[in-house]
Amino acid sequence: MTEAERSTPLSGTIVRGVIAGIVAATAMALWFLVIDASQATPFRTPAFLANELLGTNGIQPTVGSIFLYTVVHYAAWIIVGLLISWMLRAIHTAPTVLLGIVVGFLLFDIVFYTSVAVTGVDVISALGWPEVLAGNLLAGVSLMGFLHLTGATPPVTWWSALVEGNLIVRDGIVSGLIGAVVVAAWFLLFDAFRGSPFLTPGALGSALFLGARDMSAVQVDVATVLGYSILHVAAFCVAGFIAAAFVVEAERHPPLILGAVLLFVAFEAFFMGFLAMVAEFLLGPLAWWTIAVGNALATLSMGYYLWARHPRLQEVLRSNPLDQTV
C-alpha cells in the first residue's frame, strides 16, 4: 500500500463510494430520460419499472410510485459505489474506464437475472437490450471516472499493466481506433450528402438488433446507432491488433508485410459477406464502392500510423527489399 493510500481514511472511501453511486445513478437516469423523450414517452422507463417493482401492472403509475422507484434506483447504485470503492481500496487497483466497462457488462447480467427472479419479467427485453446495455456501460464508466478523478494516484493501473512493454496491444488499439473513426467519418459524410445523417450505422444497427430486412424497417435512433458503433469500434480494434502483430513480426521477417495486403483483402471480403448475411438490403443503397473506399481509407490511415511507429521496419525493408527476401 502506498503512502497516499495509507493516508486515505475509510470515511473518505465511503464518501467517494456514495457520491460515485449517485453519479452513476444520475447518468443512467438521464440516459433513459433521453431515450424516452426521443420516443415521445417521457418517464416511460421509471414508470414501467415502478409498476413491475410494486406489482401494479395495468395501473396508471403515480408520482409517488415513480419517486419510490427512483429512491430504490439511487440506493442500489450507492451500494454498488460503496462496494467498488471499498474493493479498489482493498486490492490497491486503479479505477479505470476499462474497469468501468467491465462493471457495466456485469451489472447488465445482474439486471437480467434479478429482474426475472424478483418480478418474473425480463426487463431487458421489455426495455430493449441495447438501451439497457448502453445505460449500464455509461453508468459504470461514470462511476469509475468519478473514483479515478477523486482518488489518490495508484501505483499501477490496469491500462499501464496491459500496454506498457506490449507494443502490439498498444499499437493495435490505437490503429484500430484510427480506422474506426475514419470509416465512421466517411459514412457520416456520405449519409449527410444524401440528406440522411447516420443512416448507415442506424440501418446496420436495425438489422443486427431489430431484425430489419428492408429499408422501411430501419430505425435511425440513439440505440441502433450507438449499439452498432460499439461493435464497429470493437471489430476495428481486433483488426488493428492483427495488423500490429503482422508489423512487429515483419521487423524480423520482412515478407510477412505481404500479410497486411492479405488482411485488407480479407477484411473487405468479410465486410461484404457480413452485409450479405445480416443486411443484404443495404448493398444497393450503400453501393459497393462506398464500402471499398471506406475500408481503403481506414487501411491507409492505420497503415500510416503503424509505419510511422516502426522505423525499424522501414530500415529493414530499405536494406532488404521484398524482391530480395521472398
| Other CB atoms within 10 A of residue 274 CB | 13
* pLDDT above 50 (res 63): yes
Mean pLDDT of the chain: 75
Note the pLDDT of residue 95: 56
How far are the Cα atoms of 139, 225, 235 from residue 125, in angstroms, in the given order? 19, 18, 25
Per-residue buried b or exposed e for 31-48, using 16+ beta carbons within 10 Å of the residue's own CB: bbeebbeeeeeeebbbbb
Note the pLDDT of residue 6: 46
Burial class (CB in 10 A: 0-12, 13-18, 19+), 244: buried
Per-residue buried b or exposed e for 70-97, using 16+ beta carbons within 10 Å of the residue's own CB: eeebbebbbebbbebbeebbeeebbbbe
Torsion of CA 24, 28, 34, 37, to 10 degrees: -130
Q: What is the secondary structure of 100-126 as a DSSP string?
A: HHHHHHHHHHHHHHHHHHHHSS-HHHH
Residue 39 DSSP code: T
Residue 10: pLDDT band (50, 70, 90) is low
How far are the Cα atoms of 172, 191, 284, 317 from residue 216, in angstroms, in the given order? 38, 17, 14, 52
Q: Is the pTM of this model over 0.75?
A: no
Distance of alpha carbon 233 from alpha carbon 219, whole angstroms: 20
* pLDDT above 60 (res 152): no
**pLDDT (tens digit per residue) in 221-264:** 888 888 888 888 888 888 888 888 878 777 776 666 666 666 66
Rounded mean pLDDT, 87-105: 65
Burial class (CB in 10 A: 0-12, 13-18, 19+), 149: exposed
CB 247 within 8 A of CB 310: yes
**pLDDT (tens digit per residue) in 31-58:** 888 887 777 777 888 888 777 777 766 6
Cα angle 223, 226, 231; round to 5: 120
**Percent of the chain having pLDDT more than 70?**
64
